[in-house]
């Protein structure tokens, strides 16, 4: 591009008619000395060595270039010219002795006068040999050839250019290398508030805040020399802050182009005010990183912030922080009973309360649902976190007030908090997040409305629970669940029925006890699906067993609270009975005392419906004696049997126990209820006097819970 632009038509012509050719041929033909050349040349000639050091120059040169006669000598010619021209001249020096000299043409050179003002010259360079030493002559002169024509062309081009720039809405400004504005279109008034006459001749710098211009002027300079072909990959746009006439500052996008007139380079700037776009971008950014409801940051913002924390932490190791995961306790009930609007209000109030409590430097996020996350970035002492958590618990426990259809509601909720300390509990986002989540899980598990600070021991138990939760979702589909049956025997030791007990063979953890996974299943609601499967499966197998063994055993099925509360529970039992064709007298449902404590009316209603639809079906209270107000309710309940909890049997022969068992047995007898003693492991248990009126036993003394196959074996050996 450089050589192309320097070898313009007009230059070629001047080369043919110009003097350098004469001078050059004289040197070649006559072997004239360097000194003679300088003395005889009518044009400015400078003699330089291969490094560019000026060996000599004629007086015409120093006059025209604007120097004292000898002050050029010893200075470096290459260093004096602008860098952009320097490389070009060097190239010329390299090729000046080569046979394709014929192709050599005039080129444009800029050279400073003594005051440093750059002027343009046309030049030609040729090599000179004396005693085997190579040096160069640079022949310069002020271009005047075809100037008139060129000026006309330029004017015409400028006219076209101006017409074009007036049609576009962006500001177009042309500046010279000293950053003076040469041209401005009329759109400049919209962008900068200056009209074109105010701009032309003024410094480009006035369109920017001072610090912006001083930071970017180097960058702008580059665009003067950027050639489109060479720098295709370089960005042609810059986003910078501009300043308008009223001194308002706004973001600008500037696209650059340049042109090389004969005498100078010109930078063309197309300037757009991008305030509007920036505002839209800012709004979109805000929306993308914030939760609409509470206006807290969202998960994406959290990712960005925590990455930033770790980045800063690497430089300031003394920094300490904490990550808090919060999950509201009881939010779901509010949502379910008072409606989504109340739920939303509660979330908004919670966000406000947290914002009011935490410091400005703490970040608060909502991850969706009732999950909040707090990033404490400046923790003075690790022990401070306990104080923070206690405050959070307190602020959330304060009653929330709502108004719905003119009525005022007061709602109380709690919050489970998990804490991981930064960076001691994780030095990357993934680990720290997992640990805070596990700690929160632990808080939920150990009774909610509390905080737990992460510790390594937590990981194992919480991880197990997490795996259980995940695995439960697919356990039934993957056929990992099956039933065991534990015989329930009469006083003679003959099986009267069996209790169906669920087992889960977890693919990674092996067989997991129902005590471990039933609570999780209750929490997630999966218990309904699992419970339905248990009832259907147990009824099917017991019917098959009775048929095969020609027996009349009953099956006792455990039912959990959430299952019984489900509106379709009675339908599920109806369907299972109808589908399997089992005699309802062979089905017992085991409920725990907590049912009657939590919602006695509903429980009683469900039981009555079942009994009406399926006469013969029996209801058993499981783990009897572990609840507290059971005695009070027992008389009112449509219940047929009680199971004395195995914790009492375990304590035999403690004296206190005897009293409790006696009173339970007396009560059951007086209410005409059947009794089953659970957890009978020894003869001593079985023959324990207070259990004398107990009709049935269940426990390892008779049999452990058995697979269907083993149960058949057990029953077969019993009948022989």
Q: Which residues contact ligand C2E by CB under 6 A?
A: 486, 501-502, 513-515, 518, 531, 534, 558-560, 590, 622-623, 646, 678-681, 698-700, 705
Minimal distance, residue 678 CB to Mg ion, in Å? 5
Could you tell me the smallest distance in angstroms from the CB atom of residue 535 to ligand C2E? 9
Contacts of 504 (CB under 8 A, 6+ apart): 475, 480, 481, 511, 512, 514, 517
CB of 497 within 8 A of CB of 553? Answer: yes
| Residue 271 binding target from Mg ion, ligand C2E, none, CB below 5 to 8 Å by type | none
Which DSSP string corresponds to 218-232?
HHHHHHHH--TTTTT
Binds 621: which of ligand C2E, Mg ion, none (CB < 5-8 Å by kind)? none
Q: Copy the structure tokens of residue 618.
A: 């029996």
Give whichever of 327 and 622 is closer to Mg ion, judged by the CB atom.
622
Cα torsion 716, 717, 718, 720 to 10°: value is 90
Q: In the complex with Mg ion, which residue's Cβ is closer, 345 or 500?
A: 500
Q: Is the dihedral of CA 76, 82, 87, 88 positive or negative?
A: negative
CB of 498 to ligand C2E, least distance (A): 12
For 249, the enclosing helix (H) or strand (E) is: strand 249-260
Show contacts with Mg ion in window 604-633 (CB under 5 A). Answer: 622-623
Phi, psi values for residue 100, rounded to 5°: -85, 35
- Phi, psi at residue 451, to the nearest 5°? -120, 150
Closer CB to ligand C2E, 323 or 534, in the complex: 534
Nearer Cβ to ligand C2E (334/518): 518
Give every CB contact of residue 63 below 8 A, 6+ residues apart in sequence: 44
700 is in the binding site of which of ligand C2E, Mg ion, none (Cβ under 5 to 8 A by kind)? ligand C2E
Sheet with 363-368: strands ordered across: 363-368, 371-376, 321-329, 414-422, 451-453
Nearer to ligand C2E, 92 or 588 (CB): 588
Q: Which is nearer to ligand C2E, 501 or 664 (CB)?
A: 501
Q: Least distance (Å) from ligand C2E to the CB of residue 682?
A: 9
* Distance in Å, CB of 720 to Mg ion, minimum: 29
- Fill in the per-residue mask, 641 to 680: x = in contact with Mg ion (CB under 5 A), - = not in contact: -------------------------------------x--
Give whichever of 427 and 602 is closer to ligand C2E, judged by the CB atom: 602
Work out whether 294 is an interface residue with Mg ion (CB under 5 A).
Answer: no
Question: From the list Mg ion, ligand C2E, none, which binds 486 (C-beta under 5 to 8 Å, kind-based)?
Answer: ligand C2E
Residue 170 or 678 with smaller CB distance to Mg ion: 678
Q: How far is the CB of 474 from ligand C2E (least distance, A)?
A: 18
Q: Which is nearer to ligand C2E, 502 or 694 (CB)?
A: 502
**Beta carbons of 509 and 464 less than 8 angstroms apart:** yes
> Which of Mg ion, ligand C2E, none has residue 518 at its interface (CB below 5 to 8 Å by kind)?
ligand C2E
- Out of 411, 590, 696, 702, the only residue in the binding site for Mg ion (CB under 5 A) is 590
- Residue 224 vs 504, nearer CB to ligand C2E: 504
Phi, psi of 243 (to 5 degrees): -130, 135
> Residue 654 corresponds to which tokens in the numbers above?
């403690």
In the list ligand C2E, Mg ion, none, the entry touching 560 (Cβ below 5 to 8 angstroms by class) is: ligand C2E
122 binds, among Mg ion, ligand C2E, none (CB under 5 to 8 A by kind): none
Token output for 468: 């259980």
Q: How many residues does this entry show for the chain?
A: 720
Q: Is 17 exposed, middle or buried (0-12, 13-18, 19+ CB in 10 A)?
A: exposed
Minimum CB separation of residue 483 from ligand C2E in Å reads 7
CB of 370 or CB of 623, closer to ligand C2E: 623
The packing angle between helices 527-549 and 514-524, to 10°, is: 130
Joined together, the tokens standing for residue 270 give 């197309």
Cβ 484 to ligand C2E shortest distance, Å: 7
CA dist 392 → 350, 372, 433 (Å)? 10, 12, 19
Give the nearer residue to Mg ion in terms of CB position, either 346 or 498.
498
Could you tell me the smallest distance in angstroms from the CB atom of residue 592 to Mg ion?
8
Of the chain, the end-to-end C-alpha distance in Å amounts to 108
Nearest residue to ligand C2E by CB is 699
Q: What are phi and psi of 397, to 5 degrees?
A: -70, -20
Q: Which does 679 bind (CB under 5 to 8 A by kind): Mg ion, ligand C2E, none?
A: ligand C2E
d(CA 672, CA 688): 21
Output the smallest distance, CB 285 to ligand C2E, in A.
50
CB of 291 or CB of 623, closer to Mg ion: 623
Characterize the bridge pairing of strands 54-57 and 45-49: antiparallel
Give the Cα separation of 634 and 619 in Å (integer).
12
> Closest CB to ligand C2E among 396 and 502?
502
Q: Which is nearer to ligand C2E, 194 or 485 (CB)?
A: 485
Contact 625, 645 (CB under 8 A): yes
Q: How far is the CB of 654 from Mg ion (least distance, A)?
A: 20
Site size toward Mg ion (CB under 5 A) is 5
Is 362 or 678 the residue whose CB approaches Mg ion more closely? 678
Q: Cβ of residue 299: shortest distance to Mg ion, in angstroms?
A: 42
Q: Of 155, 229, 178, which is closest to residue 1 (Cα–Cα)? A: 229
- Whole-number Å distance between alpha carbons of 413 and 396: 7
How far apart are CB 560 and Mg ion at their closest, in Å? 10
Strand order in the sheet with 181-184: 181-184, 171-176, 265-273, 249-260, 237-243
Please report how close the Cβ of residue 643 comes to ligand C2E at its closest, in angstroms. Answer: 7
Of residues 530, 533, 534, the one with CA closest to residue 522: 530
Q: How far is the CB of 622 from Mg ion (least distance, A)?
A: 4
Q: Which partner, Mg ion, ligand C2E, none, binds residue 515 by CB below 5 to 8 Å per kind? A: ligand C2E
3-state helix, strand, coil in the chain (%, to 5): 45, 25, 30
- The two three-digit tokens of residue 90, written as one number: 């060097």
Output 359-364 pairs: Cβ under 8 A, ≥24 positions apart.
363/297, 363/301, 363/302, 363/305, 364/296, 364/297
* Cβ neighbourhood burial of 409 (10 Å; 0-12, 13-18, 19+): middle
User: To 10 degrees, the CA torsion angle through 94, 100, 102, 107?
Assistant: -30
Choose the contact partner of 681 out of Mg ion, ligand C2E, none; CB within 5 to 8 A by kind.
ligand C2E
The footprint of Mg ion on residues 531-570 (CB under 5 A) is 558
Beta carbon of residue 698, minimum distance to Mg ion (angstroms, whole number): 8
Residues that bind Mg ion (CB under 5 A): 558, 590, 622-623, 678
């Amino acid at each position: 591009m450089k050589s192309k632009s320097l070898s313009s038509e007009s230059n070629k012509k001047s080369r043919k008619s110009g003097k350098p050719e004469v001078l050059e041929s004289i040197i070649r033909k006559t072997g004239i000395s360097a000194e003679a050349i300088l003395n005889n040349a009518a044009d400015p000639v400078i003699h330089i060595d291969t490094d560019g050091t000026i060996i000599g120059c004629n007086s015409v040169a120093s006059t025209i270039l604007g120097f004292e006669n000898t002050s050029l000598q010893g200075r470096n010619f290459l260093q004096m010219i602008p860098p952009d021209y320097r490389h070009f001249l060097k190239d010329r020096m390299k090729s000046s002795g080569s046979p394709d000299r014929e192709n050599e043409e005039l080129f444009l050179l800029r050279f400073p006068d003594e005051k440093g003002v750059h002027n343009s010259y046309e030049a030609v360079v040729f090599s000179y040999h004396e005693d085997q030493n190579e040096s160069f002559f640079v022949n310069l002169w002020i271009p005047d050839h075809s100037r008139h024509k060129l000026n006309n062309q330029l004017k015409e081009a400028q006219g076209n250019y101006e017409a074009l720039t007036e049609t576009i809405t962006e500001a177009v400004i042309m500046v010279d290398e000293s950053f003076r504005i040469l041209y401005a279109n009329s759109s400049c008034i919209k962008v900068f508030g200056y009209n074109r006459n105010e701009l032309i001749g003024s410094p480009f710098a006035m369109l920017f805040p001072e610090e912006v211009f001083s930071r970017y002027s180097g960058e702008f300079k580059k665009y003067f020399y950027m050639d489109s072909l060479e720098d295709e990959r370089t960005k042609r746009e810059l986003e910078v802050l501009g300043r308008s006439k009223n001194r308002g500052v706004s973001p600008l996008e500037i696209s650059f182009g340049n042109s090389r007139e004969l005498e100078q380079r010109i930078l063309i700037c197309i300037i757009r005010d991008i305030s509007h776009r920036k505002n839209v971008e800012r709004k979109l950014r805000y929306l993308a990183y914030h939760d609409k409801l509470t206006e807290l940051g969202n998960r994406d913002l959290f990712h960005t912030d925590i990455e930033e924390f770790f980045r800063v932490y690497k430089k300031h190791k003394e920094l300490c922080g904490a990550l808090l995961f919060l999950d509201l306790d009881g939010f779901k009930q509010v949502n379910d009973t008072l409606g989504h609007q109340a739920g939303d209000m509660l979330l908004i109030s919670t966000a406000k309360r947290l914002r009011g409590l935490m410091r400005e430097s703490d970040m608060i996020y909502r991850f969706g649902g009732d999950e909040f996350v707090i990033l404490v970035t400046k923790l003075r002492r690790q022990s401070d976190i306990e104080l923070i958590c206690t405050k959070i618990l307190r602020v959330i426990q304060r009653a929330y007030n709502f108004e719905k259809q003119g009525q005022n509601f007061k709602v109380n909720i709690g919050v489970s908090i998990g804490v991981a300390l930064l960076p001691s509990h994780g030095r990357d986002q993934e680990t720290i997040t997992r640990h805070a989540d596990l700690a929160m899980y632990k808080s939920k598990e150990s009774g909610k409305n509390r905080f737990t600070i992460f510790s390594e021991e937590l990981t194992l138990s919480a991880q197990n629970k997490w795996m259980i939760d995940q695995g439960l979702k697919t356990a039934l589909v993957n056929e990992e669940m099956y039933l065991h049956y534990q015989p329930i025997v009469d006083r003679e030791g003959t099986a009267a029925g069996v209790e169906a007990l669920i087992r889960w063979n977890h693919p990674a953890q092996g067989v997991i006890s129902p005590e471990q996974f039933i609570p999780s299943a209750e929490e997630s609601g999966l218990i309904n699906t699992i419970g339905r499967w248990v009832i259907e499966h147990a009824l099917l197998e017991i019917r098959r067993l009775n048929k095969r063994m020609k027996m009349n055993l009953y099956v006792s099925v455990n039912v959990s609270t959430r299952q019984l509360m489900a509106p379709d529970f009675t339908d599920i039992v109806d369907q299972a009975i109808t589908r399997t064709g089992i005699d309802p007298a062979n089905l017992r449902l085991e409920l725990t005392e907590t049912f009657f404590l939590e919602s006695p009316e509903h429980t009683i209603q469900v039981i009555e419906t079942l009994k009406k639809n399926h006469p013969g079906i029996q209801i058993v209270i499981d783990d009897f004696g572990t609840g507290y107000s059971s005695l009070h309710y027992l008389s009112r309940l449509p219940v047929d049997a009680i199971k004395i909890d195995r914790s009492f049997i375990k304590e035999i022969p403690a004296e206190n126990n005897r009293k409790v068992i006696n009173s339970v047995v007396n009560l059951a007898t007086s209410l005409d209820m059947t009794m089953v003693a659970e957890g009978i492991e020894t003869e001593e248990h079985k023959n324990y006097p207070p259990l004398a009126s107990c009709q049935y036993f269940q426990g390892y003394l008779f049999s452990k819970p058995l697979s269907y196959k083993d149960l058949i074996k057990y029953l077969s050996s019993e009948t022989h």
